């Protein structure tokens, strides 16, 4: 059983220290919004493990693929997904580069994110446990990402300082331009640094989401809920939220084949410490789904206490995988409800599916993650 780490005292102290400085981002212009058809589509790319491009070989592919397979296959897959799905937003959920095999971290990052940059589609990224193993520190990697074209990534929030990790931030998705909800965030996106490895003596394994990050999440969630339930057009409950980070929570191990969609082909490589972030999300009440990577052979979604816990499945060709089991990506679509006057209102449903990197980019495992008319358990 993962070890619980008490954080209540820390949160109380932090709350007293920084509450006066904590502000909502309501005065900032909406960088993301739903399209005229009442839809917002997100492409998730997990574990590219990019190295040095053409010189970096593929892992765990069929013998017939080995001679010509490299990081360029990963690049081609990103491009195929962008062309096929035409997403409104792209999220890279860590291990974007495989540091040990990246000679120059900055160049590898630019090549890995190249298709997103070239597409002019807004994108964001979080860090995994391998991104900092090249020529840039963890902070340096995130700062380099933030400086790239078309990214909405941020190093850290200004309203909570200090905060653990690099790449903790949120983005708001506004309603359709010209609709009554054009200046309200009707969908909230949270991004967190789930760390790399434990630095606590006697505690081994992967990192975890710390108390300072959970405080930032709780504060941000509360501010967004307050704004959504305030005039104009006050709503009765919080807008739905989605959370993205790299390392799966211990709660991902709570599923078996009877209560998830997708496959589980390896163990859940979560931290040995349960820091309580899942409980924080349940208490906040707005997050409807969590999306991670890290375990490349798992691609399932399962619902627990009202929150869907979802893997994307391994994407990158230099990452470990399973020969004959196609690399894959996850797509998430939020749809708005139509109003009686022919315009668009708030989010009606959130759906997901995956696409395989095969001849037809086969779509599999379509499912509804959340809707206004049903509650996941």
Q: What angle do CA 115, 363, 36 make, to 5 degrees?
A: 65
Instruction: Please tell me the pTM assigned to this model.
Output: 0.93
Three-class secondary structure assignment of 86-144: CCCEEEEECCCECHHHCCCHHHHHHHHCHHHHHHCCCEEEECCCCCCCCCCCHHHHHHH
Question: Residue 11: inside a domain, yes or no?
Answer: no
Residue 13 in any domain: the answer is no
Model confidence at 71: pLDDT above 90? yes
Mean pLDDT on 19-44: 73
Output the CA–CA distances (angstroms, integers) from residue 185 to 133, 152, 331, in the order listed: 36, 16, 21
The pLDDT assigned to 29 comes to 54
Residue 343 forms part of a structural domain: yes
The mean per-residue pLDDT over the stretch 205-233 comes to 97
User: Does 80 reside within a domain?
Assistant: yes
Give the mean pLDDT of 331-335.
Answer: 98
Residue 257 banded pLDDT, cuts 50, 70, 90: confident
Q: Domain total for the chain?
A: 1
Domain-located, residue 326 = yes
Mean pLDDT of the region 269-289? 98
Give 347-365 pLDDT, tens digit per residue. 999 999 999 999 999 999 9
Please give the angle made by the CA atoms of 283, 286 and 289, to the nearest 5 degrees. Answer: 100
The answer as to whether 4 is a domain residue is no
Q: Is 30 domain-assigned?
A: no
Q: How confident is the model at residue 174 (pLDDT cuts 50, 70, 90)?
A: very high
Over residues 128-136, the mean pLDDT reads 97
Give the chain's length. 377
Q: What is the mean pLDDT of the chain?
A: 92
Q: Are 161 and 18 in contact (CB under 8 A)?
A: yes
Q: Read off the pLDDT of residues 84-120 as tens digits, 9 standing for 90 and up.
A: 999 999 999 999 999 899 999 999 999 999 999 999 9
pLDDT of residue 159: 86
What is the domain range of residue 134?
A: 39-371
CATH number for the domain harbouring residue 169? 3.60.21.10
Which pLDDT does position 373 carry in this prediction? Answer: 81
Q: What is the pLDDT of residue 228?
A: 97
Domain annotation covers residue 24: no
């Amino acid at each position: 059983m993962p070890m619980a780490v008490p954080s209540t005292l820390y949160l109380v102290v932090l709350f007293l220290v920084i509450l006066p400085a904590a502000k909502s981002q309501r005065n900032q212009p909406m960088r993301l919004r739903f399209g005229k058809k009442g839809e917002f589509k997100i492409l998730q790319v997990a574990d590219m493990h990019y190295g040095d491009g053409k010189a970096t070989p593929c892992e765990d592919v069929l013998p017939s693929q080995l001679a010509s397979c490299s990081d360029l296959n990963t690049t081609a897959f990103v491009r195929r997904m962008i062309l096929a799905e035409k997403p409104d937003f792209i999220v890279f959920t860590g291990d974007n580069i495989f540091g040990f095999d990246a000679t120059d971290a900055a160049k590898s990052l630019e090549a890995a994110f190249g298709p997103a940059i070239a597409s002019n589609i807004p994108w964001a990224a979080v860090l995994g446990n391998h991104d900092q193993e090249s020529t840039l520190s963890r902070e340096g990697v995130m700062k380099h990402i933030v400086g790239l074209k078309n990214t909405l990534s941020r190093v850290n929030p200004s309203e909570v300082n200090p905060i653990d990790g690099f790449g903790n931030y949120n983005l708001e998705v506004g309603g359709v331009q010209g609709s009554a909800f054009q200046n309200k965030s009707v969908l909230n996106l949270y991004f967190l640094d789930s760390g790399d490895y434990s630095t606590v003596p006697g505690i081994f394994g992967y990192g975890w989401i710390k108390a300072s990050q959970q405080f930032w999440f709780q504060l941000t969630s509360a501010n967004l809920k307050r704004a959504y339930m305030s005039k104009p057009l006050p709503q009765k409950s919080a807008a739905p939220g989605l959370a993205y980070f790299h390392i799966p929570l211990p709660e991902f191990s709570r599923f078996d084949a009877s209560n998830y969609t997708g496959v589980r082909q390896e163990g859940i490589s979560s931290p040995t410490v349960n820091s309580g972030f899942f409980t924080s999300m349940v208490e906040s009440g707005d997050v409807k789904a969590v999306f991670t990577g890290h375990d490349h052979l798992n691609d399932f979604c399962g619902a627990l206490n009202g929150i869907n816990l979802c893997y994307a499945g391994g994407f990158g060709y230099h990452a470990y995988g399973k020969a004959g089991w196609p690399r894959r990506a996850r797509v998430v679509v939020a749809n708005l409800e139509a109003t009686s006057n022919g315009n668009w209102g708030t989010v009606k449903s959130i759906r997901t599916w995956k696409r395989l990197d095969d001849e037809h980019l086969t779509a599999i495992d379509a499912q509804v993650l959340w809707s206004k008319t049903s509650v996941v358990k």
